[in-house]
Amino acid sequence: MANVDFRAVTKSFGAFTALHGLDLSIKSGEFVALLGPSGCGKTTTLRMLAGLEFPTTGDIIIGDRRVNDLAPGERDIAMVFQSYALYPHMTVAENMAYPLKKRGVPKADRGPMVAKTAEMLHLTALLDRKPKQLSGGQQQRVALGRALIRDPKVFLLDEPLSNLDAKLRSQLRAELIELHRRLGRTMVYVTHDQLEAMTMADRIAIMEGGNLQQFAPPAEVYARPANRFVAGFIGTPGMTLIDGALVQDQGRWLFEGDGLRLDVPALVAGASAGPAAFGIRPEDVHIGRGDLQGEIVLTEATGHETIVTVALSAAVRVVARVPGTPSLRIGERVPVGLDAACAHIFAAGPHGVRLNHPSGAAGADETDNIAAPLRVASKGVVS
Amino acid sequence: MMRKFLGPVVLNVFAWTTILAVAFPLFWMLVTSVKPQSELFRRPPTMLPESWTFEHYWHLLSQTNFLVYFRNSVMLSTVTTLLVVTVATLGAYSLVRFRYRGRESLAFMVLFTYLLPSVVLIIPLYLMLVSMGLSNTLFSLVIAYTTFALPYALWLMRSFMAGVPDDLEYAAMVDGASRMGAFVDVILPQLLPGIISTALFTFILSWNEYLYALVLVNSDEARPLTTGVMNMLISSFNIEWSLLMAASVMMSVPLIIVFAFLQSYLTRGFGAGAVKG
Ligand SMILES: Nc1ncnc2c1ncn2[C@@H]1O[C@H](COP(=O)(O)OP(=O)(O)OP(=O)(O)O)[C@@H](O)[C@H]1O
Ligand SMILES: [Mg+2]
């Protein structure tokens, strides 16, 4: 059991800086997901933790020990490589026994440990095969087995489910959650799949462009995105973000943009008038009731719900999530309500910080989204 | 319809003609070596000898320096092969895995050896070896052969090395191996086909080399088979055909054994998937 700390870690490859001062404190026994778009520095972060890449500046701590200068083998970690990296000339059993052998586990003890791990991952029948005689999913489980056979301080998993079919993926996701609960080890899990991060992690570290954007539990990341990037990145379909400005009108704060004038709730202290963005999640947009009018542009029925895109004006389209398959026609004009209490206000720019307090209710009631529709102060076009 | 049959037929005829053209001299060598002297120049020539004799072989083994030359060749080729394979494997590992200044240019510079004809290199090399006190030794030939086998071997191993995924080595290191341990446990087994190709190439090159051996070594103690046999059996007045053919047969045997032994290794190992593609 060990905590993991990144302290002001930067990483440059020549002139290119892949990581700009990462500060990340992972608690002992915590399951942390590193989530972000391709090229944001997730793998780089993990590889530095594993000792396969060296930080340009900053310190990496595992279990209160600075590990910057320790070789990978001395860090007491186990890693699942995104590429599996199975040893082709060894059988499944030999692959799984290799870390034990390298750490001086007596030969007599290795057999039972391999058998136990293989059973857990349903690999018992495959122990004598070579990696190339296995399917992708089986290889993946061997890679997992080679890591899980040990009892290291920290498990590192780099997109370990990325190449599996949906069924196997959800099956292994459940197995990993169960495993983490049973072993209670610190786990760092790299993924660009937000569903994996949301369902598995205790906390999610969202990264972008080599910067940590937010580090918080899944529910908070969803309900209270720290900045505009996180707001747009988390959630499918994504949050609707409308650019405009915050204005003060007779002591009340309003958001004006693209012909809309909307009340904004609970601004943080220190928010000032100026350019800003207004965000609203699909489940906080109501179709069929509300003070706005919109035209249905697109409906996407998935069975249990329908994703509806409505144009409020020529420039503003909002996405709504409606349970079931309501009968809505393209081109139909319908009343639209935006749930004021659940709105998210961000400062201008792609990484503009959050400017209002959340209701805390966002996302909690997907099916029952009856809440006070946002009062619309004025529908006049703002110049 | 006609074309469908004609294609394979033409192909087969072509293939068999080629095989015959290559194999016939070998066959003739074998046949000549067991013909008695009297039958050698008979016209028309006999395809198969009327009477068999192994006297030429016996003569070579008992009356001449053949065994000394043979031992020299074996030692020379083996040591050169070991040296070249070791240096090329480690060198390729360095060129592919580490980043340092001049890495690429270094790899290209070794190829300069091949830009010059060996005749040009041979005199300076000879003078250098003499000044090192190595003239007329087997070791001087080991060094000389290494100079022209190594560049190609390095490039061969480099391409094999580049085909081994980094992650394999990293995985071994995470699993607790040192860098050297990871190299031995995981990289070397992946390189085996490359190592065998390189070893074959070097061994054959050293075994058949003539020019350097002719110039650099001038004593029977250190002469390899190529120059030894030539020196012994070919003079300005006479060529001992039967002995020459018998010697040639015996010279080919080690290569045939090496090939037969290594061929299965050479094809095995190729295409073994290491990481997901
Ligand atoms: N060895 C390297 N040399 C130069 N640049 C590198 C190197 N390794 C990574 N980078 C760069 O660093 C950035 C972060 O790479 P990294 O592999 O950490 O991304 P990632 O978040 O894992 O992305 P993905 O989801 O695609 O795997 C990328 O822009 C990448 O091009
Ligand atoms: Mg990655």
- Angle subtended at Cα A62 by Cα A59 and Cα A63, rounded to the nearest 5 degrees: 130
Residue closest via CA to ligand 1's atom 25 equals A38
- On whether residue B24 sits in a domain, the answer given is no
C-beta of residue A280 within 8 angstroms of C-beta of residue A344: yes
CA distances from B135 to A150, A164, A264, B123, B131 (A): 59, 65, 94, 12, 8
CA distances from B161 to A102, B91, B169, B192 (A): 24, 10, 12, 10
Query: What range does the domain containing B219 cover?
Result: 70-275
What DSSP string describes B227-263? HHHHHHHB-SS-B-HHHHHHHHHHHHHHHHHHHHHHH
Higher per-residue confidence, A222 vs A120: A222
How many independent structural domains does chain B possess? 1
pLDDT of residue B267: 60
Q: Residue B275 corresponds to which tokens in the numbers above?
A: 């990481």
CA distances from A251 to A45, A106, A226, A247, A378 (A): 46, 75, 26, 10, 16
Pairwise CB contact (< 8 Å): A73 & B168: no
Domain limits, chain A: 4-223, 231-381
Question: E strands along chain A, which residues?
Answer: 4-13, 16-26, 31-35, 57-62, 65-66, 77-80, 154-158, 186-191, 203-208, 211-216, 240-249, 252-257, 260-263, 274-280, 285-301, 305-311, 317-323, 333-338, 344-347
Residue closest via CA to ligand 1's atom 17 equals A43
Pairwise CB contact (< 8 Å): B275 & A81: yes
Paired with B268 in beta bridges are none
Quick one: how many helices (H) and strands (E) in chain B? 12, 0
Please give the distance of CA A350 from its chain centroid, rounded to a whole number. Answer: 18
Distance from Cα A145 to the centre of ligand 1, integer Å: 26
Phi first, then psi: give them for residue A294, nearest 5 degrees: -145, 165
Pairwise CB contact (< 8 Å): B165 & A99: no
CATH number, domain at B115? 1.10.3720.10
For ion ligand 2, residues whose CB falls within 5 Å: A 43
User: What does pLDDT average to over chain A?
Assistant: 87
Partners of A84 on chain B (C-beta within 8 Å) are 275-276
Percent of chain A with pLDDT over 90: 64
What distance in Å separates residue A24's CA from the closest CA in chain B? 22
Assess whether the C-beta atom of A39 lies below 6 angstroms from ligand 1.
yes
Residue B7 has pLDDT above 90, yes or no: no
CA distance B61 to B243: 10
Distance from Cα A146 to the centre of ligand 2, integer Å: 20
Which atom of ligand 1 lies closest to the CA of A207?
21
Between helix B66-97 and helix B241-267 the angle, nearest 10°, is: 30
Cβ count within 10 A of residue A18: 19
Higher per-residue confidence, B41 vs A305: A305
What DSSP string describes A334-347? EEEEEBGGG-EEEE
CA distance A5 to A1: 13
Chain A touched by B175 (CB under 8 Å): yes
C-beta of residue A262 within 8 angstroms of C-beta of residue A298: no
- On whether residue B50 sits in a domain, the answer given is no
Residue A20 has pLDDT above 70, yes or no: yes
Assess whether the C-beta atom of A43 lies below 6 angstroms from ligand 1.
yes
Distance from Cα A43 to the centre of ligand 2, integer Å: 4
The terminus-to-terminus CA distance of chain B in angstroms comes to 42
Pairwise CB contact (< 8 Å): A86 & B275: yes
CA distance A73 to A102: 9
Cβ-nearest to B272 among A73, A81, A88: A88
Q: Residue B65 corresponds to which tokens in the numbers above?
A: 């320096």
Residue closest via CA to ligand 1's atom 26 equals A38
Partners of A71 on chain B (C-beta within 8 Å) are 173, 178
Partners of B167 on chain A (C-beta within 8 Å) are 81, 83, 85
Q: Residue B168 corresponds to which tokens in the numbers above?
A: 């394999």
Residues 6 or more apart in contact with residue B55 via CB below 8 angstroms: B36
Place of tokens 């000032």: A272
Cβ count within 10 A of residue B201: 17
CA distance B220 to A229: 82
DSSP A227: B
Residue among A44, A81, A192 to mutate when testing ligand 1 (max atoms within 8 A of CB): A44
DSSP B184: I
Cβ-nearest to A85 among B165, B176, B272: B165
Q: Residue A97 corresponds to which tokens in the numbers above?
A: 């026994």
Between helix B118-131 and helix B138-162 the angle, nearest 10°, is: 120
- Structure confidence by residue, pLDDT tens digits, A306-356: 999 999 988 889 999 999 888 889 999 999 999 878 889 999 889 999 888
pLDDT of residue B185: 95
State mean pLDDT over A145-173. 87
Place of tokens 């040893």: A87
- On whether residue B92 sits in a domain, the answer given is yes
Residues in chain B: 277
Q: What is A4-223's CATH number, 3.40.50.1820, 3.30.200.20, 3.40.50.300, 3.30.750.24?
A: 3.40.50.300
pLDDT of residue A367: 33
Residues 6 or more apart in contact with residue B186 via CB below 8 angstroms: A87, B168, B169, B171, B172, B177
For domain A231-381, give the CATH number: 2.40.50.140
Partners of B272 on chain A (C-beta within 8 Å) are 88-89, 130, 132
Residue of B nearest to A96 (CA): B175
Chain A residues within 8 Å of chain B (Cβ atoms):
50-52, 71-73, 77-79, 81, 83-89, 98-99, 102-103, 130-132, 136, 139, 146, 163
- On whether residue B34 sits in a domain, the answer given is no
pLDDT of residue A101: 95
C-beta of residue A154 within 8 angstroms of C-beta of residue A188: yes
Nearest residue to B201 via CA among B168, B156, B231, B159: B156
Residue closest via CA to ligand 1's atom 12 equals A18
pLDDT of residue B268: 53
Partners of B194 on chain A (C-beta within 8 Å) are none
- Structure confidence by residue, pLDDT tens digits, B15-29: 999 999 999 999 999
Q: Which ipTM score applies to this complex?
A: 0.79
Residue of A nearest to B191 (CA): A89
- Structure confidence by residue, pLDDT tens digits, B147-200: 989 999 999 999 999 999 999 999 999 999 999 999 999 999 999 889 998 998
SS3 of residue A188 by DSSP: strand
- Structure confidence by residue, pLDDT tens digits, A125-135: 999 999 999 98
C-beta of residue A9 within 8 angstroms of C-beta of residue A211: no
- On whether residue B200 sits in a domain, the answer given is yes
Residue A379 has pLDDT above 50, yes or no: no
Chain A touched by B177 (CB under 8 Å): yes
- On whether residue B127 sits in a domain, the answer given is yes
Residues 6 or more apart in contact with residue A207 via CB below 8 angstroms: A34, A35, A36, A40, A41, A42, A45, A213
Residue closest via CA to ligand 1's atom 1 equals A13
pLDDT band at A368 (very low <50, low <70, confident <90, very high): very low
